[in-house]
Structure 1
């Protein structure tokens, strides 16, 4: 069974155990909303060549659009996401959606690279709306169905990521890269209206003032070893993900492929396996198999780069590698979230803030290093970089498991009780079964 934190506080409810507290229609509203919100982070990835040409800047400068959007997202996760525990989320979410629409409109109208990059930071800030919605859905679910609900919502989020690239590619071919951001802004306005009328009530969960709220997020991260471990694993996984999708545009737009924006965008659909993995990972975690899921996905993060490396000349290798990598990244991500949401029910937005901030810092590092690696050594250098991040994830997880095993063996040798053994495993940060 997953190890629980000794700080866990039950959430009061008048409903019997196992009774659904969130309907299927509402779950799918959450799934669609998170997908639309998070898509704003990824529209630029298949457009980097077009942006570079349109604004007459280098590929590395164009890639800053991805990096700064992710850094803006990380900043929003620190400063905005904890508000989900402080404010009524039924009102907070639509307001954040409207703010994101304004930032997207600014990107569409930006006449120069500096203004485009400034707007990209604002888009990243607003895209944290998606991460306000995930713990919101988790709060509405019962313990027995929480992994399933989170997995479904994450499937919607992942489909948003995948379709973002495809939609962006084709819209750019039809009307140029600016059209992508015009359509995205309109979509966010429509979404804000739907959320305003359909979201369930979600009162504040804490009476802390804002500065104390932010301080408590850092304190929770410091006090929860399971959260720290899962945050590191998430950061490494998203670094792998960002290395691939940032550099892939450069590979596909040059020799030997010479694909256009629309065809490059289609590669996002290969990650549909990741969306399927998200739903399955949530169910696996509900059944108490988080350790096995983490082990398999961590290893696949590194192994996926072998077919990806072969993909520099073979399309089949590229296709297989993309599918395996996306499956591993998203399966690990949902497993991580299913574990950290068990820690402190009264602080899920702050826990998500700590986890997702670390996660997207890893992504920003990956997206910033990918074009440097590509310029320095082509696709081979990118493959080495991605495999190194993947191997680091497997090593971190193996070390955590070995540490937890030693503590359990030591506790058994001294005839310690099961409670103490669990506490020691938790202290080791295993977060496993």
Structure 2
């Protein structure tokens, strides 16, 4: 019996890990599937694709707010019921998006869809609590496969559905898939017992002091924030590179390269095993080294497309595996505060990604592809240096709420 975090269930099974991974993939996809639907949405409401781009932005804003305001609830509510309630709200928001009669309606529906679709960040600490300490890295790595596949696969699947059936159909498919997942979660996911009775207001006010108090948490946020920032600046500017000579490709080719990145998802279980056997710090350094190698390969991108393709695989492997390594570190801090720790961590990761996208466009505008690559190397280099010079081995400690 696993007593960690008050979970009243046997050790986690492979089937349950698979269900958690699938749930993470289908739900996180809601934040990204709109990115390939923007042109069609613009045509429907007679606006430009650039104006429709606010939908993609607002969905990610909603996701960031959800990580800050909803993820910590996993520390005070029974998690299966919380997940089911959030899935129900996601279902309603997907239907509202499909039924949108005007552009403001669609914007609001996507804001709420992003806000409620933070279910993966409830599931990840849930999975950590269900698993034995000796296999926690492996379990988190397996669950992370679903996250990566959802993020990278959403654009491809939504593009195919849109081209054949229209953008509204994609939201109806999401709605139907969410109902199926609700049924599976209801009958397969064990109940948890929340061990924290903190009121919601006090819970939110505890986030700032928690971030300032925990050096381990701050370093994990810096590490993954910069890694995800470098990841985002690459994917944001890739379409610019491919649209210019010698390639002169459309955005569809960038999407196809994204499929290569899905292969990087399967590095997360490997890094999970390294975490369990060698420690999370070793895993961190390995992940950063892989991403640094990716940006070195990107420097050849003006001449060799194969360098871009291999680099896309490596940067996805490094970034997603590093996320698992950092989560393994912060989850050692407190079983009772894992949702809050994960909420803070994901908000900082998201901010790093937004910063990377913004700086990537600036680097491209002024220095083109060389500037993008140098910036990526610089961001990962800062994260790598902070890890090397700052830390003694992590010991398991108990944080009192």
TM-score tier (shorter):
0.7 to 0.9
Which residue is equivalent to 1:330? 320
Query: 1:103 & 1:276 partners in 2: Cα distance?
Result: 31
| From 233, 258, 279, the counterpart of 2:249 | 258
Q: Identify the residue that residue 39 of structure 1 maps to in structure 2.
A: 29
Q: Give the structure 1 partner of residue 128 of structure 2.
A: 138
Q: CA deviation at 1:282?
A: 1.1
Show the 5 A alignment for 1:196-211.
196-211=186-201
What CA distance in whole angstroms lies between the structure 1 residues aligned with 2:322 and 2:239? 24
Kept in 2, the 8 Å contact 1:247–1:374? The answer is: yes
Deviates more, 1:198-207 or 1:178-187: 178-187
1:227 and 2:217 matched: yes
Asked whether 1:308 is paired with 2:298, we answer yes
Q: Which residue of 91, 94, 103 corresponds with 2:84?
A: 94
Q: Is the 8 A contact 1:95 1:192 kept in 2?
A: no
Q: Does 1:292 align with 2:282?
A: yes
Aligned residue for 1:389? 379
- Correspondence 1:30 to 2:20: yes
Distance 1:245 1:177, change over 3 A: farther
Q: Deviations over 1:115-152 (max 9, x none)?
A: 44433322221221111011111111121221111111
Aligned equivalent of 1:360? 350
Q: Distance in 1 between matches of 2:394 and 2:174?
A: 47
Instruction: Give the match's secondary structure for 1:145.
Output: helix
Match of 2:234 among 219, 238, 244: 244
Distance 2:240 2:167 in 1: 16
With 205-214 and 172-181 compared, the bigger mean Cα shift is at 172-181
Q: Secondary structure at the match of 1:40?
A: helix
1:57 to 23, 48, 61: 48
The 5 A counterparts of 1:65-76 are 65-76=55-66
Gaps of 5+ in 2: none
- Normalised by the length of structure 2, the TM-score is 0.87
- Cα deviation per residue 1:10-66 (whole Å; 9 max; x = unaligned)? 756899xxxx6122211111111111111112223445566566654354x555444
* Structure 1 residues without counterparts, runs of 5 or longer: 1-8, 405-420, 427-433
Shift of 1:381: 4.5
Aligned to 2:139: 149
5 Å-filtered alignment, 1:333-352, equals 333-352=323-342
Question: Which of 140, 158, 162 pairs up with 2:152?
Answer: 162
For residues 195-248 of structure 1, give each alpha carbon's deviation from its aligned partner in whole angstroms, at most 9, with x where no partner exists: 122221112221111111122333322222111100111111111222222333
SS of equivalent residue, structure 2 residue 62? helix
Q: Paired residues, what number?
A: 393
Cα RMSD between the aligned structures? Answer: 3.0
Equivalent residues of 2:5, 2:193 under 8 A apart = no
The 1:47–1:207 alpha-carbon spacing in structure 2 relative to 1, beyond 3 Å, is same
